[in-house]
């Protein structure tokens, strides 16, 4: 269709290249939009700046999650599924494109999209003319100009229609997801699927840590979230013990004990990890601390200490034989 449609937005023109199907999508916070895009300069050659098809996968954005190029949500909301359209956007809408493109390119290259970014507001970044690392984007950053976006809309999914990454969830959604993930992890443990269970516990911890970052440490809100984090970390460590990832257990239990030095279960799991990697002195110290903090675990500690002693004696015997073989003089003919 050659006719140009003017959206009800200043500085935007639309041309439908291929008609879509169905009704216009009803976007809401949390909706996921999947589409391909091509960005061109408004010059005689229509120079291509970016093309998502070169990356091999469509672009996805979550509505309401402060995507830096807000005009894209407006453009996509005017399209039907399967539609291909061309949009001309004035410079008032494209000033942030250089920074957005920089992030997308870094992701495609397997790099951190925030690497080197200064901590300031979006407008401050827009007018800070340090290099983006790409010559064509540096030019756009120095001289904002009209751009052309060619978009193909694949689908719009409601928040309940797809599994969202934790970063895309609201505070309420993260809090609601934690007990579900905890329960799924427990179910997987019963089936001895420890790797998958650990992933569920880890995802729940990430949800809570994201929320904790917005609270003041050691105040009521932070402590309430920390009380939810602790059992999840302990469950995660138990899975790692089962998987033989002992140094992972040492790292996480030590970090936990730096904040909660009276947690007997954390000492117990750390002691088992120390024992597994032959740290006899550290293991004994942690086991004895467990018995002191929680007398109800004394029987379990006694059993573990007995097993530790037997393993260490066996190791010493094997080491002695090995070293004797090294230093024995060679037998004569």
Tell me, what's the pLDDT at 31? 83
Nearest residue to 205 (alpha-carbon basis) of 242, 173, 174: 174
pTM above 0.75, yes or no: no
In the structure, what pLDDT confidence band is assigned to residue 133 with cuts at 50, 70 and 90?
confident
Give the CA distances from residue 272 to residues 217, 249, 301, in Å, rounded to whole numbers and listed in that order.
30, 9, 10
Question: Domain 171-323 is of which CATH architecture?
Answer: Alpha Horseshoe (1.25)
Residues of the chain with CATH 3.10.50.40: 4-157
Quick: pLDDT tens for 291-304.
999 999 999 999 99
Residues of the chain with CATH 1.25.40.10: 171-323
Nearest residue to 6 (alpha-carbon basis) of 61, 74, 83, 95: 74
Is pLDDT at 122 greater than 50 in this prediction? no
Question: In terms of C-beta density within 10 A (0-12 exposed, 13-18 middle, 19 or more buried), how is residue 81 classed?
Answer: middle
Quick: pLDDT tens for 65-83.
656 788 998 999 999 999 9
- Residue 217: HSE in the Cβ half-sphere, 13 Å Cα cutoff: 1
Topology (CATH level 3) of domain 4-157: Chitinase A; domain 3 (3.10.50)
């Amino acid at each position: 269709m050659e006719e140009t449609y003017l959206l009800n937005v200043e500085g935007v023109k639309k041309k439908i290249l291929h008609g879509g199907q169905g009704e216009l999508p009803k976007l809401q916070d949390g909706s996921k939009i999947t589409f391909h895009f091509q960005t061109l300069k408004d010059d005689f050659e229509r120079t291509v700046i970016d093309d998502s098809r070169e990356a091999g996968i469509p672009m996805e954005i979550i509505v309401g999650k402060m995507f830096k190029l807000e005009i894209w949500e407006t453009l996509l909301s005017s399209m039907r599924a399967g539609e291909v359209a061309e949009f001309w956007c004035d410079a008032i809408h494209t000033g942030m494109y250089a920074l957005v493109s920089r992030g997308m390119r870094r992701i495609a290259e397997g790099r951190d999209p925030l690497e080197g970014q200064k901590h300031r507001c979006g407008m401050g970044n827009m007018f800070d003319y340090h290099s983006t690392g790409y010559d064509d984007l540096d030019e756009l950053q120095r001289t904002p100009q009209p751009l052309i976006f060619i978009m193909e809309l694949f689908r719009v999914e409601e928040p309940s229609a797809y599994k969202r990454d934790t970063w895309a969830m609201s505070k309420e959604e993260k809090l609601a997801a934690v007990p579900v993930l905890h329960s799924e992890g427990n179910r997987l443990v019963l089936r001895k699927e420890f790797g998958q269970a650990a992933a569920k516990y880890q995802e729940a911890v990430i949800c809570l840590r994201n929320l904790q970052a917005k609270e003041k440490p050691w105040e009521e809100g932070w402590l309430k979230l920390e009380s939810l984090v602790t059992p999840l970390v302990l469950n995660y460590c138990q899975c790692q013990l089962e998987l033989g990832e002992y140094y992972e257990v040492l790292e996480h239990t030590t970090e936990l004990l730096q904040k909660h030095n009276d947690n007997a279960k954390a000492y117990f799991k750390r002691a088992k990890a120390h024992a597994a990697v032959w740290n006899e002195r550290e293991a004994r110290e942690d086991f004895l601390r467990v018995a002191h903090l929680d007398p109800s675990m004394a029987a379990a500690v006694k059993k573990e200490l007995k097993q530790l002693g037997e393993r260490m004696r066996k190791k010493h015997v094997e080491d002695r034989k090995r070293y004797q073989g090294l230093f024995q003089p060679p037998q004569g003919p």
